[in-house]
C-alpha cells in the first residue's frame, strides 16, 4: 500500500494552519516525489519525516506563485546543505521555461558545485507520460486554468491502485480522464468559476468518473467556513469524502 503526504492544503491564500497546496509521494525505497513546491520546502519535508536528500523528482502542475514559489528556496537550501544527488523537474514547457528564467534571475549559474538539475517537459495531452520508477507510473492530462496546467494520474505498479490529482481547474475533459475509475481522487475546491471548481462540482466529477474516494484540497481558508465543503460534495457524490489537512497521510 502506498501513501501520499499532504504538505499543504490551502489555495493561493494560506493561513497559520494551512500552507499552499503541495504533496509528497514516497516510494518503497525511501525516495520520494514532490508535487508542486510552496513555503519552506525543506522544513515541511523534515516535519513530515522525509529526508530531502531522497527527493528524486519534482513535478510542477503550472507556473503560478502558490505552486512554484518554493522552488528557488528548495534548490538553494538543498545546495547549501550539501546535496549532490541530481534532481529532475517535470512540467509543461510554459512552466519550465519560467522556472528556469526565475533561477537565472537568481544567478544560479554562479552557485559553485550546484547539484545537477534536469528539466523534463510534459506533453499537454491526456495520457502524456511524466515519469516511471520502480513503484509508480505517472501520467498527465491538461486541465482548464488561467495558464497551461496539468493534473496527474498515478498508478501504483505493485497494487494497480490509481490516485488522481487535479489541481487548479474548472470541470473539463482532461479532468474527467484523470479521475476515471480512480481509487482516490484528490480535487481542488477553490470555488466555482473560471479556472476553479466548487465542492459540489468535484462531487459530480467523482460520480461521473466512478472514483471510489474523494479528497477535497486547495480550498479557501481566509475567513471561510470549512465545515460546509464535505456536505456540499456529498450532495453530489455517494462515496466517502475527506477534507485534506496539512500533514495528513493518505493510504491508497
In this prediction, residue 223 carries a pLDDT of 86
- The number of angstroms, rounded, from the C-alpha of 127 to the middle of its chain's C-alpha atoms is 17
Residue 48's CATH number:
3.60.15.10
pTM higher than the cut 0.75: yes
Q: Which residue range is the domain that position 223 belongs to? A: 3-251
Output the pLDDT for position 12: 96
Q: What order of strands is seen across the sheet that includes strand 184-188?
A: 128-132, 136-143, 149-156, 162-166, 184-188, 214-217, 241-243
Mean pLDDT by 10 residues, the chain (252 residues): 96 96 97 96 96 97 98 97 97 98 98 98 97 98 98 98 96 96 98 97 98 98 94 98 98 94
Q: What is the per-residue pLDDT across 125-181, written as a single tens digit (0 to 9) for each?
A: 999 999 999 999 999 999 999 999 999 999 999 999 999 999 899 999 999 999 999
Q: Are 151 and 174 in contact (CB under 8 A)?
A: yes
Is the sign of the CA dihedral 68, 174, 199, 217 positive or negative? Answer: negative
CA 22 to chain centre: 5
CA within 13 Å, CB half, 42: 14
Instruction: Please state the domain count of the chain.
Output: 1
3 state DSSP class of 128: strand
For Cα atoms 91, 94, 97, give the angle at the middle one, nearest 5 degrees. 85
Amino acid at each position: 500500500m502506498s501513501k501520499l503526504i499532504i504538505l499543504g492544503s490551502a489555495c493561493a491564500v494560506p493561513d497559520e494552519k494551512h500552507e499552499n497546496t503541495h504533496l509528497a509521494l514516497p516510494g518503497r525505497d525511501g525516495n520520494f516525489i514532490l508535487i508542486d513546491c510552496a513555503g519552506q520546502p525543506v522544513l515541511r519535508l523534515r516535519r513530515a519525516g522525509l529526508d530531502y536528500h531522497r527527493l528524486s523528482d519534482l513535478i510542477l502542475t503550472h507556473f503560478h506563485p502558490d505552486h512554484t514559489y518554493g522552488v528557488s528556496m528548495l534548490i538553494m537550501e538543498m545546495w547549501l546543505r550539501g546535496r549532490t544527488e541530481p534532481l529532475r523537474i517535470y512540467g509543461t514547457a510554459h512552466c519550465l521555461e519560467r522556472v528556469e528564467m526565475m533561477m537565472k534571475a537568481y544567478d544560479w549559474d554562479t552557485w559553485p558545485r550546484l547539484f545537477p538539475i534536469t528539466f523534463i517537459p510534459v506533453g499537454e495531452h491526456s495520457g502524456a507520460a511524466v515519469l516511471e520508477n520502480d513503484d509508480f507510473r505517472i501520467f498527465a492530462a491538461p486541465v482548464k486554468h488561467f495558464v497551461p496546467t496539468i493534473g496527474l494520474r498515478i498508478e501504483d505498479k505493485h497494487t494497480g491502485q490509481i490516485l488522481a490529482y487535479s489541481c487548479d481547474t474548472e470541470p473539463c475533459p482532461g479532468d474527467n480522464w484523470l479521475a476515471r475509475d480512480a481509487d482516490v481522487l484528490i480535487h481542488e475546491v477553490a470555488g466555482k468559476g473560471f479556472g476553479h471548481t466548487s465542492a459540489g462540482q468535484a462531487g459530480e466529477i467523482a460520480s461521473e468518473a466512478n472514483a471510489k474516494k474523494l479528497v477535497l484540497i486547495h480550498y479557501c481558508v481566509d475567513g471561510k467556513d470549512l465545515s460546509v465543503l464535505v456536505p456540499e460534495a456529498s450532495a453530489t457524490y455517494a462515496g466517502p469524502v475527506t477534507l485534506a489537512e496539512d500533514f495528513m497521510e493518505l493510504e491508497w
